[in-house]
Amino acid sequence: MKTSAFLPLLCAAALAACSEPPPPAAAVPVVKTLIAGEAPAAGARTYSGEVRARHETTLAFRVGGKIVERSADVGAVVKAGQILARLDPADLALQAGQAEAQRALADADARRYRDLRGRNFVSQSALDAKETALEAAQAQAALAKNQAAYAVLKADKPGAIAQVLAEPGQVVAAGQGVFRLAEAGETEVAIAVPEAQLADLKPGAAAEVVLWTGRQPLRGRLRELAPVADAATRTYPARISLLDRAPGLALGMTASVRFRQEAADALTVPLAAIFQQERQPAVWVVAADDTVSLRAVSVAAYTDAGATIAEGLKSGERIVAAGVHKLSAGQKVRPVK
């Protein structure tokens, strides 16, 4: 009788045990990953730059004087030979007139001495002196005429006015800049490289140029790296040639320039991606099924930019970039960039 009394209780306990939920499955960890050789954090350098013409010329008068007219503003598109500015021609015209008068006088003297020499009234040396004086006067008259023409400043080549350096009413010296002309044709991006990063760049290095207007990245190449720092900024000017055409590209646009690693270069990964296994550096490689495996690598150098991998990792492989100490071999992860 006592056994039959406890039977319902035992059955109830058994049913309750069977209805308990199974233990929860382990959560799949979320890990930050990167593609070896493509990660911007792997030692890549990014600079802000400005789109400029490859050839920029400072236009100036070849003679000094007072500017009386300026017919071009910043941004104006000009043709070769187009008049941009004029100087007051009064003084130059007077100088040309004086030189012409001296030439006419020397010409008259030379003609008179030729006639006298023909009648043997003067020596040949006296005639030679007058002929020499005539040649000098002719050269001086031609020079004065040219200088009078220099009162008009014309564009040497087609392009756009990038900067105006002088205004009407201003007295300028010969050779003093009046306009900055950006010549039509090839464009490039100008950047400034800090001294600490100078050794990282070499002429010919491949670059990726992104305009801040949101266009697709453009291929570029480091064409020029100045060997002397700018006196004002203490940075080294550099120019990036654009290998791709960009419709609508305009001078003065802002661009971001990133130098990427060449395929033949050693790969660089963030320091946080390195896992030390018994003093042997390694990285977690993410397979196609999102499982991780630990792979030993050979590190050529440790720098502030990251660890340079000499062996053990191929370009294009996905690795874990952070949280490497929380993983185990064969574990499934949820990778994010």
∠ Cα 261 267 268 (to 5°) = 90
Q: Which of 20-46 are b and which e, b meaning 16 or more Cβ less than 10 Å from the residue's Cβ? A: eeeeeeeeeeebebbebbebeebbbbe
pLDDT value at residue 13: 53
122 located within any domain: yes
> What is the SS3 assignment for 241?
strand
Please check the confidence at residue 178 and state whether its pLDDT lies above 90.
Answer: yes
162 located within any domain: no
285 and 255 both lie in a single domain: no
Say which CATH number the domain at 119 has: 1.10.287.470
- CA 320 to chain CA mean position, Å: 33
304 and 321 both lie in a single domain: yes
275 located within any domain: yes
Contact 328, 29 (CB under 8 A): no
202 and 216 both lie in a single domain: yes
305 and 319 both lie in a single domain: yes
Last residue of a domain, one of 205, 230, 259: 259
What would the DSSP string read from start to end of 116-161?
A: HHHTTSS-HHHHHHHHHHHHHHHHHHHHHHHHHHTTEEE-SSSEEE
241 located within any domain: yes
Partnered with residue 57 across adjacent β-strands are 181
Last residue of a domain, one of 206, 231, 259: 259
Say which CATH number the domain at 322 has: 2.40.420.20
275 and 225 both lie in a single domain: no
50 and 195 both lie in a single domain: yes
Residues 97-145 have pLDDT tens digits of 999 999 999 999 999 999 999 999 999 999 999 999 999 999 999 999 9
Please check the confidence at residue 226 and state whether its pLDDT lies above 50.
Answer: yes
pLDDT value at residue 293: 94
∠ Cα 175 179 183 (to 5°) = 110
101 and 115 both lie in a single domain: yes
Domain with 203, as residue range(s), is 45-54+186-259
Predicted structure pTM score: 0.56
> What is the SS3 assignment for 104?
helix
Please check the confidence at residue 41 and state whether its pLDDT lies above 50.
Answer: no
Last residue of a domain, one of 204, 229, 259: 259
Residues 267-315 have pLDDT tens digits of 888 888 999 888 899 999 999 999 999 999 998 878 777 888 888 898 8
pLDDT value at residue 103: 94
Q: Give the confidence band of 186 by pLDDT, cuts at 50, 70, 90.
A: confident
Helices (H) and strands (E) in the chain, counts: 3, 23
pLDDT value at residue 240: 95
pLDDT value at residue 37: 74
Q: Give the confidence band of 1 by pLDDT, cuts at 50, 70, 90.
A: very low
pLDDT value at residue 16: 52
300 located within any domain: yes
Please check the confidence at residue 24 and state whether its pLDDT lies above 60.
Answer: no
- CA 107 to chain CA mean position, Å: 59
Q: Give the confidence band of 231 by pLDDT, cuts at 50, 70, 90.
A: very high
82 located within any domain: no
190 and 50 both lie in a single domain: yes
CA distance 78 to 70: 13
Q: Give the confidence band of 211 by pLDDT, cuts at 50, 70, 90.
A: confident
Bridge-based pairing state of the strands 267-269 and 254-259: unpaired
Cβ count within 10 A of residue 201 = 18
Q: What is the DSSP letter of 110?
A: H
308 and 243 both lie in a single domain: no
Domain count, the chain: 3
pLDDT value at residue 83: 96
78 located within any domain: no
Q: Among 286, 209, 316, which Cα is nearest to 255's?
A: 209
Please check the confidence at residue 7 and state whether its pLDDT lies above 80.
Answer: no
Contact 51, 240 (CB under 8 A): no
Say which CATH number the domain at 211 has: 2.40.30.170
232 and 214 both lie in a single domain: yes
69 located within any domain: no
Cβ count within 10 A of residue 219 = 12
pLDDT value at residue 336: 84
- CA 168 to chain CA mean position, Å: 34
223 and 236 both lie in a single domain: yes
